[in-house]
């Protein structure tokens, strides 16, 4: 599978550029670690998500805020400069997609598959390990898990591996039951 098929669109182009720079510098893992830190910040702060997505703030205001956060978390070098370019080009809203694209490219290079897992609450290490074992067995490959939390799921998981999606969330099950009850009436 080529990288063009793996990541696409504007976020994919930025992710590919960052991946190629990190690969040339031999810093793929360091960049992945910094991006994971940024993803964790986004997952834990609604205010940061609003800042990233908001078209109200100009690029300079966003950069002042984001650079302060990056400096405080110890993110520097390639990722710091990359976020600066993304912010100045007014593409910060696509940062989550860029992070996912980079992660997918790194997984491909390592011979891994990438799985996006969304749960109703944060999973502990033993649950993530059990999920990884199950996904490894189901796919026959090493699976890298990108975790996200969506309290709107109420319970269960939504797992996306490649083009397959398994939705065992309570929200989906309740919606299916609601639809079935409407059809029965």
Distance separating alpha carbons of residues 5 and 86, to the nearest angstrom: 22
pLDDT at 2: 42
Indicate the length of the chain as a whole number: 185
Range of weakest confidence among 26-30, 129-133, 145-149: 145-149
| Residue 4 predicted with pLDDT over 50 | no
Distance separating alpha carbons of residues 50 and 54, to the nearest angstrom: 6
Q: Single out the residue of 96, 107, 101 nearest to residue 145, CA to CA.
A: 107
**Stretch 57-67: mean pLDDT, rounded?**
91
| Residue 1 predicted with pLDDT over 70 | no
Whose structure tokens read 């709107």?
152
pLDDT at 6: 57
User: Average per-residue pLDDT in the chain?
Assistant: 87
Q: Single out the residue of 91, 94, 95, 86 nearest to residue 37, CA to CA.
A: 95
Phi/psi at 8 (nearest 5 deg)?
-140, 170
Residue 178: pLDDT band (50, 70, 90) is: confident
**166-169: Cβ within 8 A, 24+ apart:** 169/118, 169/120
Phi/psi at 41 (nearest 5 deg)?
-60, -45
What is the pTM for the complete model shown? 0.69
Residue 90 gets the label, from left (phi > 0), alpha (psi -120 to 50) or beta, of left
| Residue 161 predicted with pLDDT over 90 | no
Higher pLDDT, 85 or 145: 85
**Residues 33, 123, 67, CA angle at the centre, nearest 5°?**
35
Distance separating alpha carbons of residues 78 and 25, to the nearest angstrom: 9
Residue 3: pLDDT band (50, 70, 90) is: very low
Higher pLDDT, 23 or 148: 23
Higher pLDDT, 5 or 96: 96
pLDDT at 79: 95
Question: Mapping DSSP to helix (H, G, I), strand (E, B) and coil, where does residue 177 land?
Answer: helix
């Amino acid at each position: 599978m080529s990288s063009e098929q793996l990541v696409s669109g504007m976020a994919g182009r930025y992710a590919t550029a960052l991946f190629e720079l990190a690969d040339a510098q031999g810093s793929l893992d360091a960049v992945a670690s910094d991006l994971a830190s940024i993803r964790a910040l986004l997952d834990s702060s609604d205010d940061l998500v609003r800042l990233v997505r908001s078209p109200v703030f100009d690029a300079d205001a966003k950069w002042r805020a984001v650079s302060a956060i990056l400096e405080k978390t110890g993110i520097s070098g390639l990722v710091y400069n990359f976020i600066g370019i993304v912010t100045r080009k007014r593409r910060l809203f696509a940062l989550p997609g860029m992070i996912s694209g980079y992660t997918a490219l790194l997984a491909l290079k390592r011979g891994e598959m990438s799985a996006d897992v969304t749960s109703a609450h944060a999973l502990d290490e033993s649950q993530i390990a059990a999920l990884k074992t199950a996904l490894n067995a189901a796919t026959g490959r090493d699976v890298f898990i990108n975790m996200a939390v969506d309290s709107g799921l109420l319970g269960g998981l939504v797992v996306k591996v490649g083009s397959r999606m398994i939705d065992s969330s309570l929200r989906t099950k309740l919606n299916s039951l609601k639809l079935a009850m409407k059809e029965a009436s």
